Structure 1
Amino acid sequence: MTTKMKTKKIFRSFEIITEFRNIAHSDKNIFLNIPKIASLFFEYQFLSYYFGGVPKWRVMLRKLISKKRIVPNYVMTGPIKSGSSDLVSHLLMHPNIMSPLAKEIDSLNAKQWQSYFPTIKQKQALEAKLDSKVSCGYLEPALHDIQLINKLYDLNPNSKIVITLRDPIDRAFSQWKWEAFLTGKDYINNPSFNNFDDYIKQSISLFPSVPMQTVCGFPVMQTGIYYQAVKLWMDKFGKDNVLVLDIADYFKNRKPVLKEIQTFLDLPDFDIQEYQKIANENPLKVSPAQAETNALLSEFYRPYNKQLFDLIGKQYQWK
């Protein structure tokens, strides 16, 4: 498979999902979109890589074909809305990286993960072709999931861990924007999602007793506190086996960060070409946060950020 073909396969799932969402948010009569929906649905059934939501028949078929499959030897994780989708997708362009069937596996049952990964025979064939070792990763943005940490350790205690973090103020705004997008046209009439500034004020007033209302399932304030979660990964897999990155550095200049990850994962050096789009980018257009709200968030996260910086031995230029 050429690099261009592999790139198209990696990003196509994101593009189809975005098209579906745009149709759902469109004012156009749904019946006028039926031919487009049918075409996208049919194409979606036969993708080689998914963002998530794999057709069930594909998973069942893979179970029947082979049970002799590899286990991931690296993990890429972080909090939701940390920009990990784009980084993960670009790394998958490396010829020595085999992609799982999906970036996000909708199960905590490790036995069910097996069918999402390449077969041992496929891995051996690619290694013979490249005359070098290949890797495959578990790519779930689930930084705070203790159960997942333990299950991944049981699956492969020698895994290397790449954690991408984002300025918690920017991450909070991105999550609210995502929550608003997921509610569809109704977000304007939903008091929890029609105004970021009010949403954050209420979230802070309720913290830590009551998690703020969420559509995507992650409490907005708690998800921006990284210290304890990063420490859990380090304690489990060893500090030297955990690479912590600020996603802002990646979006400022992708190539140096991709090369740093390649070195960390012992991959052959490869010049990964940048895709012209950002994977899983939210198309919703909204007004920026007020300075007062950013100041509230900055004060809230300051002590937690300090704990994180002390742990990882470096300080990011967050707000």
Structure 2
Amino acid sequence: MVNEIFEKYYQQGQIQAQQRKWEEAICSYKKAIEIQPESHQAYIQLGDAFRSSGNLDWSIDCYIKAVQIDPKVGVSYVRLKRLIDHPDILPNQIERISQFGLEVLKERANNKQAQSIVINGLSSLGKVEEAIKFCKQIAYENNVRLKPNFVKNHWDESNKREPHFIIAGFMKCGTTSLYDYIAQHPNVLPASQKEIMFFNNENLYGLGLDWYRANFPPIPENSTYLTGEASTLYGFDSTVAQRLRKGFPNIKLIFILRNPVDRAISHYFFDLKSRGLSTSIDKIVSLGIKKVSQMKNVEQDINGCRGVVSAGLYVYFLKQWMNIFPKEQILVLTLEDLAKNTEDVMNRVFNFLDLPRHRILKPTKNNSGSYNSVNDEIRLQLSRFFKPYNEDLEKLLGEELCWQ
């Protein structure tokens, strides 16, 4: 009975939030929390409603409470990190978020989300030198933990810091697993964080390349060691490609694709969980297809789009990057091939990075989910929509993708 009453108020809040009736949604979420005070999800949605209504202090309260209820749920940290970039946030509010991140790190030193919050908080406050120092410290700690022999024998702060490779796309395509597999190679050193999101974030990009370089370990010149990151939102924006080409013209780029039907469905359920969507998948898909169909020139207008549907038009995003970087600096993979032929694909990756072969231990799936409940009609609608774009992609890559 208690769960039913909680669900009633929670869903009521979801509907009101969808209708942008923020005050009503706030009241509904509060009633839900009164019934289940340990619901981190209700606190997240209440925080979203406060944020949308302009009350950032209370929004911060809710997100912090959600972390305290369940420190393992990454969505709460993501909300705090996004608030740092909010156009109306005040310095004292950013300071509060950063301090909370530091408090989390006192208990869980390797908490990646908390580290990211502190890095972005310090940077947004203009404490660039302090942020650079913190980035270097996290990069050092990561390598002490994962590559202790390198730290013992080669760590030298006078050496150059910069990435050798970047996984630049695409979201919900297995990038976390791919990055983890690459990092298993004894010659690959971890950065301060997997997703630095520098070139697509105006605030961070404004801090300069010294800030960005601080996120990587110092590597001796002409050594066989490499480092890199995986910011999957890079792939959607040609401006990122131009900035990256200017800063690191010799960088090697990896893109991993996934059947766009499966990717779109995964994207929807990710948003459902992280943003509390109340819109049905069939409506989201229909709206996404309509948006693309209304574009006057899809190849140009798609730049920067990363919606549930539009993010699967890989052919146009890859064309943008291939127009800026030489073909030999780009490797394109598929999640299906990685899952089926992990060792062969990873040896392709290591060869691309000029590294010796290495056997990956205990391949695992990261951030995976099962969405068999999606009806066949949705899948068929998406399959028909993506078919011509997939055919163009096969022509671009010169290979058959075998996506059903």
TM-score range, shorter chain: 0.7 to 0.9
Provide Cα deviations, 1:125-171, integer angstroms capped at 9, x if missing partner.
9x8xxxx5111123110211111111111122112221101111001
**Structure 2 residue 366 is the aligned partner of structure 1 residue 279:** yes
Q: Work out which structure has the larger RCO, using CA pairs closer than 8 Å and 6 or more positions apart in sequence.
A: 1
Code of the residue aligned with 1:257 in structure 2: it is: V
Of 103, 111, 114, 2:213 maps to: 114
Q: Distance in 2 between matches of 1:133 and 1:72?
A: 13
How far does residue 50 in structure 1 lie from its aligned partner after superposition?
A: 6.3
Q: Distance in 1 between matches of 2:374 and 2:106?
A: 38
Provide Cα deviations, 1:7-58, integer angstroms capped at 9, x if missing partner.
xxxxxxxxxxxxxxx973489xx98984864999236763296698352268
Code of the residue aligned with 1:116 in structure 2: it is: N
Tell which deviates more after alignment, 86-95 or 138-147: 138-147
User: Is residue 284–residue 308 contact of structure 2 (8 Å, CA) maintained in 1?
Assistant: no
**Structure 2 residue 269 is the aligned partner of structure 1 residue 173:** no
Provide Cα deviations, 1:62-86, integer angstroms capped at 9, x if missing partner.
4788696422122212121111111
Of 351, 355, 369, 1:267 maps to: 355
User: Is residue 266–residue 371 contact of structure 2 (8 Å, CA) maintained in 1?
Assistant: no
Cα distance change, pair 63–137 in 1 and its aligned pair in 2 (3 A): closer
Cα distance change, pair 137–315 in 1 and its aligned pair in 2 (3 A): same
Other structure's SS at 1:162 match? strand
**Structure 2 residue 191 is the aligned partner of structure 1 residue 74:** no
**Structure 2 residue 191 is the aligned partner of structure 1 residue 100:** yes
Of 293, 301, 319, 2:386 maps to: 301
User: Is residue 40–residue 67 contact of structure 2 (8 Å, CA) maintained in 1?
Assistant: no
Code of the residue aligned with 1:254 in structure 2: it is: T
How far does residue 279 in structure 1 lie from its aligned partner after superposition?
A: 2.4
Partner of 1:53: 116
**When you count helix as a share of all residues, which structure comes out higher?**
2
Code of the residue aligned with 1:117 in structure 2: it is: F
Partner of 1:213: none
Superposed counterparts of 1:139-218, under 5 Å: 139-141=230-232, 142-184=234-276, 187=277, 190=278, 192=279, 195-209=280-294, 218=306
Code of the residue aligned with 1:273 in structure 2: it is: L
Greater C-alpha radius of gyration: 2
Unaligned 5+ runs, structure 1: 1-21, 211-216
Taking only the aligned residue pairs, the percentage that are identical comes to 24
Q: Distance in 1 between matches of 2:311 and 2:111?
A: 31
How far does residue 88 in structure 1 lie from its aligned partner after superposition?
A: 0.8
Q: Distance in 2 between matches of 1:159 and 1:81?
A: 23
Provide Cα deviations, 1:221-263, integer angstroms capped at 9, x if missing partner.
2111011211222222211221111111111232211111001
Partner of 1:313: 398
Code of the residue aligned with 1:98 in structure 2: it is: L
User: Is residue 258–residue 335 contact of structure 2 (8 Å, CA) maintained in 1?
Assistant: yes
Partner of 2:220: 124
Of 328, 331, 338, 1:243 maps to: 331
Provide Cα deviations, 1:96-147, integer angstroms capped at 9, x if missing partner.
111111111143315231221112xxx129x8xxxx5111123110211111
How far does residue 199 in structure 1 lie from its aligned partner after superposition?
A: 2.1
User: Is residue 192–residue 216 contact of structure 2 (8 Å, CA) maintained in 1?
Assistant: yes
How far does residue 274 in structure 1 lie from its aligned partner after superposition?
A: 2.2
Partner of 1:16: none
Code of the residue aligned with 1:78 in structure 2: it is: G
Code of the residue aligned with 1:89 in structure 2: it is: D
Code of the residue aligned with 2:314 in structure 1: it is: Y
User: Is residue 159–residue 237 contact of structure 1 (8 Å, CA) maintained in 2?
Assistant: no
User: Is residue 104–residue 114 contact of structure 2 (8 Å, CA) maintained in 1?
Assistant: no
Cα distance change, pair 63–163 in 1 and its aligned pair in 2 (3 A): closer
Cα distance change, pair 148–96 in 1 and its aligned pair in 2 (3 A): same
Code of the residue aligned with 1:42 in structure 2: it is: L
How far does residue 201 in structure 1 lie from its aligned partner after superposition?
A: 2.1
Unaligned 5+ runs, structure 2: 1-37, 44-63, 72-99, 123-129, 138-156, 200-204, 296-304
Q: Provide the TM-score with structure 1 as the length reference.
A: 0.74
Other structure's SS at 2:320 match? helix
Q: Distance in 2 between matches of 1:32 and 1:203?
A: 31
Q: Provide the TM-score with structure 2 as the length reference.
A: 0.59
Figure out how many residues of one structure are paired with residues of the other and give that number.
272
Q: Distance in 1 between matches of 2:217 and 2:373?
A: 43
Q: Distance in 2 between matches of 1:23 and 1:89?
A: 31
Cα distance change, pair 308–33 in 1 and its aligned pair in 2 (3 A): closer
